[in-house]
Amino acid sequence: MLLRMSTMLLKTLREEPAEAEVPSHRLLLRAGYIRRAAPGGFTWLPLGRLVLDRVTQVIREEMTAIGGQEVAFPALLPRDPYEVSGRWTEYGDEIFTLRDRRGAEFLLAPTHEEMFALLVQDMTSSYRDLPLVLFQIQTKFRDEARPRAGLLRGREFLMKDSYSFDLDDAGLGAAYALHRAAYQRVFERLGLEHTIVSATSGAMGGSASEEFLASSEVGEDTFVGCTACAYAANTEAVVTPVPAVPGREHPGLTVHDTPDSPTIAALVDLANARALDGRTDWTAADTLKNVVFTVHHPGREDELLAVGVPGDREIDTKRLDAALSPATVSVFDDFEAHPDLVKGYIGPQGIKIRYLADPRVATGTAWLTGANEPGRHATSVVAGRDFTPDGTVEAAEVRAGDPCPACGTGGLTIRRGIEIAHIFRLGRRYTDAFKVDVLGADGKPARLTMGSYGIGVSRAVASIAEQHRDDRGLLWPDEVAPADVHVIAAGKEGQVEAALDLGATLLAEGLRVLVDDRPQLSAGVKFTDAELIGIRRIVVVGRRLAEGYAEVRDRRTGERRDVPLADVTRVMKELAG
């Protein structure tokens, strides 16, 4: 197909769109790939649609290569299966729900574990029907509280979701490995630099999961790597190593007057000034900070929770949310209603609400913490002696340089990334819920085990745009570019006709061609637009047309050279190689 810019629905923008927060969003808007149509909803314009199709096709090919079979489910589904699995409640506000004209409840499905489990239950009966990998490439809807960053976090987006069904853990492991490898090939073809990290599974359930994070400063996820080993994890999934606690005797708990010290900094200053317990080397790490949260459990009542972390660390509410998923937290501040919770002076000893502590608050560790009285703190408050937490929780911030949980020798580095894929070993959560059995080889019913695997297709497009751009515009990897060659008619005499002829020749050679044949624009405007649009190979049919030459440019290297018109096709193919 020869794309002609003179008739294409395309309007590039010179100015920065006010609505755009991140580079990919700005450039995709400016270059005419997308337009906003709704809060968190975008229209794919002709150029954008071509890129989306290319990305979709790469994913489809790699899924087919691992034996995936493509199906397509409805997006609008009845409540019942999601009620059975518990996700109707667990997803809460995150899903769009609605009623039909008769009042029956439906949802716009976030993913389709329930429906695939039911389908496989319907369509299989014997171990011979397994294993199965099924996938779909489908529009998904989520009621994001804060749609942002264009395609990176929308309310309606394209997703490839696949589901594996196996007889046993070994089968699930194999399907998981196949997906992991297929995803690596996908992202390599898409030119997406990424890291595979351990992740939390959230409301999806299952025993273990990994995310593919595309490196990007604008990513919403932070992840750690180790300077010494291969460990990589979403900060939400970092497991703090429990410190070895020397079995030494602590003095008894002592309460001190500590007026005007509701903050850690003030408390440490005061402790050193007064030499509490005879010490003047108090640091924030010796204190235990206790923060109260309201926990919102989907489908049931809120609960109060106190979380204790060493005073030198902030609480990372994304980590806390992940640890408590599907519940979410908000900071509690109605202290008047709870006189037993003394703001600024809370200690875990005798606390009346649920109390979870950081793993560093191990049995036998001693802390300087609140005495649960205004203006008083206590020293030598020993975990396991003076208080016993209801459990541990990963809520403290992860910091660069923290010890590696895997090798213990390296330190952690922290980077940001965009979650472009997530793969889950689900196990039997959904097959148990729907009793998905087949007759095993031994003649007995066998409960199937499941994996689920998702790629954010539209998000991948934005991630490619984030990673492949410069200050002049986009710079697509060849595999996903909307065309292979961008031919510019940089003149008004015979150039337009010659550019179209050249386009037709390139097309006949199997290349996809975009021709800038707009009659009323200057060469300068066309060059600027070409750099914005970001197709790597550019051919300029300009002033040397009369001599039989065109100029070939490589948008990536900046290289330019004049080439006889007759050789352009050959040169284009070489550049492609």
- Using CB under 8 A as the criterion, which residues of the chain lie in contact with its own copies when the complex forms? 1, 7-11, 35, 37-39, 41-46, 49, 52, 64, 67, 69-78, 93, 96-98, 100-101, 104, 106, 108, 115, 119-120, 122-124, 128, 132, 134, 139, 141, 143, 145, 155-156, 520
Taking the complex as a whole, how short is the minimal distance between the CB of residue 108 and its own copies, in angstroms? Answer: 8
Taking the complex as a whole, how short is the minimal distance between the CB of residue 318 and its own copies, in angstroms? Answer: 19
Residue pair 368/282 in contact (Cβ under 8 Å)? The answer is yes
Nearer to its own copies, 341 or 489 (CB): 489
Nearer to its own copies, 44 or 430 (CB): 44
Nearer to its own copies, 128 or 444 (CB): 128
Residue pair 482/476 in contact (Cβ under 8 Å)? The answer is yes
Tokens of 331: 């900071």
Taking the complex as a whole, how short is the minimal distance between the CB of residue 555 and its own copies, in angstroms? Answer: 24
Determine how β-strand 97-99 pairs with β-strand 34-38. Answer: unpaired
Nearer to its own copies, 157 or 212 (CB): 157
Residue 560 to residues 88, 540, 576, Cα–Cα distance (Å)? 58, 10, 16
The phi and psi torsions of 268 (rounded to 5 degrees) equal -65, -45
Taking the complex as a whole, how short is the minimal distance between the CB of residue 106 and its own copies, in angstroms? Answer: 8
CA distance 77 to 95: 12
Taking the complex as a whole, how short is the minimal distance between the CB of residue 139 and its own copies, in angstroms? Answer: 6
Taking the complex as a whole, how short is the minimal distance between the CB of residue 10 and its own copies, in angstroms? Answer: 8
Nearer to its own copies, 46 or 494 (CB): 46
Residue pair 69/134 in contact (Cβ under 8 Å)? The answer is yes
Determine how β-strand 156-166 pairs with β-strand 391-392. Answer: unpaired
Nearer to its own copies, 119 or 267 (CB): 119
Taking the complex as a whole, how short is the minimal distance between the CB of residue 296 and its own copies, in angstroms? Answer: 13
CA distance 262 to 469: 48
CA distance 111 to 140: 7
Taking the complex as a whole, how short is the minimal distance between the CB of residue 330 and its own copies, in angstroms? Answer: 15
Element (H, E) at 449: strand 449-456
Determine how β-strand 537-541 pairs with β-strand 513-516. Answer: unpaired
Taking the complex as a whole, how short is the minimal distance between the CB of residue 142 and its own copies, in angstroms? Answer: 10
Q: Taking the alpha carbons of 74, 76, 81, 82 in that order, is the dihedral positive or negative?
A: positive
Nearer to its own copies, 61 or 257 (CB): 61
- Name, in order, each residue with C-beta under 8 angstroms of 23's C-beta and a sequence gap of 6 or more: 218, 465, 466, 469
CA distance 188 to 464: 11
CA distance 131 to 117: 13
CA distance 56 to 49: 10
Residue pair 364/384 in contact (Cβ under 8 Å)? The answer is yes
Nearer to its own copies, 461 or 502 (CB): 461
CA distance 116 to 162: 9
Nearer to its own copies, 57 or 272 (CB): 57
Nearer to its own copies, 80 or 217 (CB): 80
What DSSP character marks residue 390?
A: S
Nearer to its own copies, 358 or 484 (CB): 484
Element (H, E) at 329: strand 328-331
Taking the complex as a whole, how short is the minimal distance between the CB of residue 214 and its own copies, in angstroms? Answer: 22
Nearer to its own copies, 69 or 280 (CB): 69
Taking the complex as a whole, how short is the minimal distance between the CB of residue 24 and its own copies, in angstroms? Answer: 18
The phi and psi torsions of 436 (rounded to 5 degrees) equal -90, 100
Taking the complex as a whole, how short is the minimal distance between the CB of residue 463 and its own copies, in angstroms? Answer: 19
- E strands, 457-577, are 469-470, 473-474, 485-489, 513-516, 537-541, 549-554, 560-564
What DSSP character marks residue 573?
A: H
